A = this chain, B = another copy of it.
Amino acid sequence: MITVEQAMEVMLGHVRTTPGEEMDLLDAAGRVLGEDIRSPENLPSFARSGVDGYALRSEDAAVHGARLRVVAEYRAGDRPGPSLHAGEAVRIMTGAALPPGADAVAWQEDSERDGDWVLLSRPVSAGANVGPIGEDLKQGDSVVPAGALLRPAEVGLLAAVGHTRVRVHRRPRVAILSTGDEVVPPEVRPEPGQVRNSNEMALAAALRQMGAEPLRLGGRGDDPDAIAAALRRADDADLILTTGGASHGDYDVAAASFDRLGAERLFWHVAMKPGTPFLAACWDSRLVIGLSGNPAAAITTFDILVRPVVAALSGRRGWRPFRAQAVLDQPVVKPSALRRYMRGTRYDQEGVLRVRNDMTQRSGVLSSMTRANCYVVVPENTPALAAGDLVLTVSPDLAG
């Protein structure tokens, strides 16, 4: 059985990032940049004052008690006026451009105004309280590299250099098909023996959370031919997920369906619990992945094994799940030869991370996942963990 790390390596080797599309900058927030953007100009394009005070030539203010003649007043937005001459100062407001010749600003708290004159209580050195040209970005500097997520700071910085249209990766389209004759749509009242299709809804919500576009194929029963036919029509998807029928048994529906589809099997079963019977194949250059039908197992394997794939499809470079050590609140007594991803609730006490894991871990139980915000990773062949042990927690949904 291959490890989680091996499974990731195989799957990421089959990912082709989505093509780019151009759009307005604000609409691109939360998307992944598809081009390297360099600054067409210096930011700021002029030297500006960082405080309210007096712009001056530092050579005129090298000593205590310098007295300068105030020849003008500049507010932010004013076009910088004529050059400053020796012995002159300009009353200047935060953000205003320095007049040519000025190389420093005296803070107004260190000055005393007397009509047209200002008296400085302390020397002012060159560059003091000045934001120089290109302080933020120099012409030609990288603004945001390809593969970066456009967060608020990236959006602001692109706007600051006037880059208001950007090329970002198209949202990955991810088809979701639920197998199982027992599955009915969520709107339908199940007959005895039937269950509602909660997996499709949970996975669709998780995909939207990642900026992907879910394509809901619904429940398609247990007939591999019918399932393969439905999958074949999803040929505009960048990734296909199925749930259910993935375990070894009399009705290995997922494996049979992928075979009928003509997909090349990459691996089946990953050394993790829950969700061991994870099936990965490749069809027409796209991954086709079979998840467990157990709701908690489906979400766990999506979080651990599928989120990195969706991030890579989206064009993300350097995506990693959020990981942090935490102090375990309750012991883990059940030994397991396979690595376990237990539901946990991580919280902090003045920044010290702790994790509760006292909720049920049964893979058919979804309610306990609503009380969890991370997974506690219990390494393979761990006999037991004690309360107070340091454990690794992962929260793939926190990785922006």
Enumerate chain A interface residues (CB-CB to B < 8 A).
25-26, 29-30, 43-46, 48, 50, 52, 74-80, 93-97, 108, 131, 135-137, 141, 143-144, 148, 150-162, 164, 180-183, 186-206, 208-209, 222, 244, 247, 249-251, 293, 295, 299, 302, 322-325, 348, 350-353, 362, 364-367, 369-370, 372-373, 392-393, 397-398, 400
A183 touches B77 (CB 8 A): yes
Asked if A156 and B77 make an inter-chain contact with CB atoms under 8 angstroms apart, the answer reads no
Given the complex of chains A and B, what is the CA–CA distance between A397 and B322 in angstroms? 13
Of B97, B209, B350, which is within 8 A of A392 by CB? B350
Given A205-B29, A247-B52, A250-B93; A46-B192 close (CB under 8 Å): yes
Q: How many copies does the complex hold?
A: 2
Scoring A50, A135, A186, A249 by chain B CB atoms within 10 A of each residue's CB, the highest score goes to: A186
Minimal Cβ-Cβ distance residue in B for A156: B202
Min C-beta distance of A397 to chain B, whole Å:
7
Contact B26 A205 (CB under 8 A): yes
Pick from B46, B182, B198, B392: contact of A96, CB below 8 A: B182
- A247 to chain B: which residues have CB within 8 Å? 52, 94
Across-interface contacts of A76 in B (CB, < 8 A): 180-182, 193
Q: Hey, which chain B residues are within 8 Å of A108, CB to CB?
A: 249
Check if B186 sits within 8 Å of A25, measured CB to CB.
Answer: yes
Q: Would you call A206 and B97 a contact (CB within 8 A)? A: no
Q: How far is the CA of A397 from the CA of B108 in the complex (A)?
A: 37
Cα(A131)–Cα(B79), bound, Å: 75
By a CB distance below 8 angstroms, the chain B residues around A393 are 351
Q: How far is the CA of A364 from the CA of B130 in the complex (A)?
A: 11
Pick 10 A–B contacts, CB within 8 A, sort by A: A25-B186, A45-B192, A77-B183, A80-B193, A93-B251, A95-B195, A152-B397, A162-B187, A164-B187, A351-B393
